[in-house]
Chains A and B, each alone.
Chain A
Amino acid sequence: MTTKCIAFHSYKGGTGKTTIASNCAALLAKRGFRVALLDLDVYAPSLLVYFQKEPKKWLNDYLLDEAEVDEVMTPVTDSIQDYGKQFDNTLEIQGKLWIGFCNVKKEEVYKIEAGASDSSKSQLRRFILLREYLIRDYDLDYIIIDTSPGIRYWSINALAVADTLFLTLKMGDIDVEGTKRLASEIYGSLTKYGTRSFLLFNRVAGYCLPSHTVQTLDKENASRNALLMDSYETDNVENMLSKETKMDVISAIPCYCDIQFSRKEFLTALRYPTHPFTKQLELLVNAMATKL
């Protein structure tokens, strides 16, 4: 199959981009796909938290021409398999997952330049080249990019490189208005050259389920219809925004308090394979396979 390059983006921070991107990447690898996950949230990298694996070198090093692609793409298939087996001893990760981590150190963040300098152009060129190398040398099915929120130099670059955009948002006014702004100011420039863009609603309110219900849901009951109650307001916002931005909704994931207020980030898809959030992500992964 042709490599699909998907960027998760949002107008504001805190919409769950990184959580969804990380879990989707893990689920895709579990299903047998070859996946690369790139941390392009260069100003506030956080993928490290989900995977707990120290890379040999960082994406920053690659962009600064101080490392090669294979030095910065950290293989994590074995480690997520070991992690998942703690909770499901039948788990077999059928595919492969590599991650390009971004360095959190402030001096390294400063080096990743935004602007018109020759160095920043060189970094951008290296980033574009990274996609070509990943497709050529890693035989990937998916490249998933976690981006910085808003209209920022590196998030725009990531969006330009991707061929599909998932604009993650919550239902609040700020997100909705910001999404409209992104759609009109940025996304149009991308879609006119073939990029496909989708709205991905996350933390949709009004669906909180008692935790004991959550834990005991079986696969059949875990479909979106079973989990989402009809909500005039929510559907209305989805439809209105979809119409105004001319973007289809790829998924609407309810807010789960145990995920939202968890003190520690982890790969829910592997830790709680029957959790409704995981089931929602599986539906999203299905949609990625059928709609993209």
Chain B
Amino acid sequence: MFIPGQKQLFSGPGEFPKCIMLLAGTSGSGKTAYSMQFLREGISAGDHCLYINCSQALTQERFNSYFAKSKTAAKAPAFISLFAVQKPGASQSRSLSGLLECITSSLQTDESTRRVVLDSLTDLIARFSNEEVQKFVAQLYDLLKAKNNVVALFTITGSSSAQTTDTLGSLIDGIIQLRMEDSGDETQRSVRLFSLKMAHTVPKWIRFRIKEDGDLEFVHDNNLSRTDLVCKLCNGPIIGPIANAESESPFHPHCLDTYHKLGDIYGSHILYALQPGVVNANFFFIDIVGLSDPLLSVEKQIKKIEDLNAIIGSCDAFNKVPKDKKIVLPTGDGMAVGFLINPELPLQLSIQLHRKLNAFNAKATSDKAIGVRIGLSSGPVFVVSDVNNNQNVWGPGIILARRIMDLGDNRHILLADNIAEALMNLKDEYREVIRPITTGYKVKHGQLLKLYSAYSQDFGNPAIPSRISELS
């Protein structure tokens, strides 16, 4: 084994090569612990090791303590410090070349050196220019490569996406990434082989922990295996290269392209709709008009809500739809109902409700009569769990229905173009009651809505909604 966790990190064909790698990670991600493990494993295997220290905080005495518990009689790593070669009065670049000379000398003295750690490039970047550090890394790389059988780690603080890390990584053989996540109860560290020149790699995060004695323990957690990942588009297992691996939405590389192409042609709604956990629903959004009138007692407000709920519950278009085919969300002064089947149901429910309300209001006194406005739309929504672990939905489908409803006045049944046009294409009877009222109405975020209104003698409101007529 050349690097700690190699068995889990490297699954490519052939042997893991002897290489010079950048070890990149944020502060606290375990770079030093990983480097020390790398050296300890080398010592255990009888390798001669060299540690190049660029940090003023680490003394040789402290460094040696990392290896005091070594059970083997093998030689402790040689220790070279930037500060030992930095002569007072010498220019900084002189000391960087002095460091290189010192390393060259050490490698000549001990030709059996097999493992090298440089900790860290971040310290060098703080003291020297980028160009000087890049030149130093390139020279050190050549020096170590000339020995043929050296494996080395150069540590650096930061992510692999940072430009400096990226540039330095390209000068050597590849990048090993470390990361640290705070899961609340504990800190979790992971490592992955991000890139390796001339070798096929499938980057996969392998979790590890730093034991009390400083040794690393790699966690064999099947859930972390990237081979268990499922493509966000086709739902198939991802075996091999992963696209979007950094995010929570991994894809087969080709599927990511397909995903973009489909989105470009069909519009972004297809991207929502194709994601697992997303359902297409036909929404009925209703609220009671004037419920917050201060002249109305809370008791009467509650009674109105209860009456409306009871009337909705008595409509066939609502109560004959199985529970698993509808999503009901109380909104306080109304409700949203998402039908997972037949797009006719929201309109049928609206019509049935209006007819029942006509009968109800005919017998009610003015303070008990219920006025409602309704918005209908279709579209994808995510099924999510709310704080009470109840099923809830969120997404373009329900948001649009709400915006449509907000434009209406009492008795309006307003429809978004997607559901209106689908219904008019479906049956002639809908063409007779659904009428366009505006070709382009801007709502929140500049979204342009084409609005329709459904009305006849005993349902709906033929007037143009006041918000729209005010604008025109």
Interface presence of B231 (CB below 8 A)? yes
Which residues of the partner chain A approach B239 to less than 8 Å between Cβ atoms?
136
Segment touching B, from A123-131, A167-175, A259-267, A273-281: A123-131
Segment touching A, from B123-131, B259-267, B385-393, B428-436: B259-267
Interface presence of B249 (CB below 8 A)? no
Segment touching A, from B187-195, B250-258, B290-298: B250-258
Which residues of the partner chain A approach B260 to less than 8 Å between Cβ atoms?
193
Specify the chain A residue showing the minimal Cβ separation from B281. Answer: A118
Interface presence of A222 (CB below 8 A)? no
Partner of B257, one of A117, A126, A157, A194: A194
Chain A nearest CB from B257 CB (Å) reads 5
Chain A nearest CB from B217 CB (Å) reads 34
Chain B nearest CB from A64 CB (Å) reads 15
Known: A129-B235, A129-B236. A121 touches B258 (CB 8 A): no
Does the CB pair B233–A160 fall under 8 Å? no
Given contacts A129-B231, A160-B261, A190-B264, 5 further A-B contacts (CB under 8 A): A116-B378, A161-B258, A163-B257, A189-B261, A193-B257
Which residues of the partner chain A approach B378 to less than 8 Å between Cβ atoms?
116
Interface presence of B85 (CB below 8 A)? no
Interface presence of A235 (CB below 8 A)? no
**Which residues 165-205 of A sit at the B interface, judged by CB distance below 8 A?**
186, 189-190, 192-195
Interface presence of A87 (CB below 8 A)? no
Interface presence of A132 (CB below 8 A)? yes
Which residues of the partner chain B approach A192 to less than 8 Å between Cβ atoms?
264
Q: State A124–B258 Cα separation when bound (angstroms).
A: 11
Specify the chain B residue showing the minimal Cβ separation from A192. Answer: B264
Partner of B255, one of A132, A159, A190: A132
Does the CB pair B280–A193 fall under 8 Å? no
Give 21 pairs: A residue, B residue, CB < 8 Å, sorted on A.
A116-B273, A118-B280, A118-B340, A121-B273, A121-B274, A125-B234, A125-B235, A126-B234, A128-B234, A129-B231, A129-B236, A131-B234, A133-B236, A156-B265, A157-B262, A160-B258, A160-B262, A186-B265, A190-B261, A190-B265, A193-B261
Does the CB pair B265–A129 fall under 8 Å? no
**Which residues 221-237 of B sit at the A interface, judged by CB distance below 8 A?**
231, 233-236
Chain A nearest CB from B237 CB (Å) reads 9
Which positions in B face A, CB cutoff 8 Å? 231, 233-236, 239, 252, 254-255, 257-258, 260-262, 264-266, 273-274, 279-280, 340, 378
Known: A116-B378, A117-B280, A156-B265. A132 touches B236 (CB 8 A): yes
Which residues of the partner chain B approach A129 to less than 8 Å between Cβ atoms?
231, 234-236
Chain A nearest CB from B201 CB (Å) reads 17
Does the CB pair B233–A128 fall under 8 Å? yes
Does the CB pair B265–A125 fall under 8 Å? no
Partner of A189, one of B235, B236, B265, B279: B265
Chain A nearest CB from B266 CB (Å) reads 8
Does the CB pair B280–A121 fall under 8 Å? yes
Q: State A161–B265 Cα separation when bound (angstroms).
A: 13
**Which residues 32-85 of A sit at the B interface, judged by CB distance below 8 A?**
none
Specify the chain A residue showing the minimal Cβ separation from B379. Answer: A116
Which residues of the partner chain B approach A161 to less than 8 Å between Cβ atoms?
258
Does the CB pair B264–A189 fall under 8 Å? yes
Partner of B234, one of A116, A132, A159, A186: A132
Chain A nearest CB from B274 CB (Å) reads 6
Q: State A124–B262 Cα separation when bound (angstroms).
A: 10
Q: State A128–B232 Cα separation when bound (angstroms).
A: 11
Specify the chain B residue showing the minimal Cβ separation from A127. Answer: B234
Does the CB pair A124–B264 fall under 8 Å? no
Partner of B231, one of A132, A163, A189: A132
Which residues of the partner chain B approach A118 to less than 8 Å between Cβ atoms?
279-280, 340
Chain B nearest CB from A69 CB (Å) reads 11
Q: State A160–B254 Cα separation when bound (angstroms).
A: 10
Q: State A136–B254 Cα separation when bound (angstroms).
A: 13
Q: State A62–B395 Cα separation when bound (angstroms).
A: 30
Q: State A125–B276 Cα separation when bound (angstroms).
A: 10
Specify the chain B residue showing the minimal Cβ separation from A130. Answer: B234
Pairs A-B, 4 closest by C-beta atoms: A189-B264, A129-B234, A128-B234, A160-B261
Does the CB pair B258–A128 fall under 8 Å? yes
Specify the chain A residue showing the minimal Cβ separation from B262. Answer: A160
Q: State A39–B280 Cα separation when bound (angstroms).
A: 28
Q: State A195–B254 Cα separation when bound (angstroms).
A: 11
Contact with B along A129-165 (1 / 0, CB 8 A): 1011100100000000000000000001101110100
Chain B nearest CB from A189 CB (Å) reads 4
Q: State A129–B254 Cα separation when bound (angstroms).
A: 11
Q: State A195–B12 Cα separation when bound (angstroms).
A: 29
Which residues of the partner chain B approach A193 to less than 8 Å between Cβ atoms?
257, 260-261, 264
Chain A nearest CB from B170 CB (Å) reads 24
Q: State A122–B453 Cα separation when bound (angstroms).
A: 32
Q: State A192–B257 Cα separation when bound (angstroms).
A: 10
Q: State A34–B236 Cα separation when bound (angstroms).
A: 22
Partner of B254, one of A121, A133, A163: A163
Specify the chain A residue showing the minimal Cβ separation from B260. Answer: A193
Contact with B along A244-282 (1 / 0, CB 8 A): 000000000000000000000000000000000000000
Does the CB pair B254–A131 fall under 8 Å? yes
Specify the chain A residue showing the minimal Cβ separation from B239. Answer: A136
Q: State A192–B231 Cα separation when bound (angstroms).
A: 22
Which residues of the partner chain B approach A190 to less than 8 Å between Cβ atoms?
261, 264-265
Q: State A131–B235 Cα separation when bound (angstroms).
A: 12
Most buried by A among B235, B254, B280: B254
Which residues of the partner chain B approach A133 to less than 8 Å between Cβ atoms?
236
**Which residues 5-29 of A sit at the B interface, judged by CB distance below 8 A?**
none
Which residues of the partner chain A approach B258 to less than 8 Å between Cβ atoms?
128, 160-161
Specify the chain B residue showing the minimal Cβ separation from A185. Answer: B265
Chain A nearest CB from B340 CB (Å) reads 8
Chain A nearest CB from B259 CB (Å) reads 9
Which residues of the partner chain A approach B262 to less than 8 Å between Cβ atoms?
124, 156-157, 160
Most buried by A among B258, B279, B280, B340: B258
Chain B nearest CB from A55 CB (Å) reads 22
Which residues of the partner chain B approach A159 to less than 8 Å between Cβ atoms?
261
Q: State A213–B254 Cα separation when bound (angstroms).
A: 46
Q: State A6–B262 Cα separation when bound (angstroms).
A: 17
Chain A nearest CB from B383 CB (Å) reads 12
Does the CB pair B280–A116 fall under 8 Å? yes
Which residues of the partner chain B approach A163 to less than 8 Å between Cβ atoms?
254, 257
